[in-house]
């Protein structure tokens, strides 16, 4: 699979990830890495909540859109 954004410009760069929002293939140069905290319940009796920080990979277009609406949650790196 090739990077969707690079193919649009006539290049064929191999994809190293898939955008978490739109599902497009993303090359290493176009990939934007961010963080997302997942909140989940633990245990059957108590209401303990586990907060787990995860990595999120987005294409440049989706990274810009997510960053515009949720800058604190994502912390998306821009190159």
How many structural domains is the chain composed of? 1
Residue 31's pLDDT band (cuts 50, 70, 90): very high
HSE of 19 in the Cβ direction (CA atoms, 13 Å)? 24
Q: Is residue 66 in a domain? A: yes
What's the whole-model pTM score?
0.73
| Average pLDDT taken over every residue of the chain | 84
34 and 66 Cβ atoms separated by less than 8 Å: yes
Residue 45 pLDDT greater than 60, yes or no: yes
Q: Is residue 79 in a domain? A: no
Residue 75's pLDDT band (cuts 50, 70, 90): low
Q: Is residue 70 in a domain? A: yes
Check residue 46 and give its pLDDT.
61
38 and 5 Cβ atoms separated by less than 8 Å: no
What is the span of the domain harbouring residue 16? 4-74
Q: Is residue 22 in a domain? A: yes
Q: Is residue 63 in a domain? A: yes
Average pLDDT over residues 58-67: 91
């Amino acid at each position: 699979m090739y990077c969707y954004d690079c193919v649009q410009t006539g290049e064929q760069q191999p994809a190293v990830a898939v955008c978490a929002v739109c599902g497009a293939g993303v090359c290493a140069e176009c990939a934007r890495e961010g963080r997302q905290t997942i909140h989940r319940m633990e245990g059957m009796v108590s209401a303990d909540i586990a907060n787990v920080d995860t990595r999120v990979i987005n294409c440049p277009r989706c990274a810009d859109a997510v960053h515009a609406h949720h800058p604190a949650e994502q912390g998306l790196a821009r190159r």
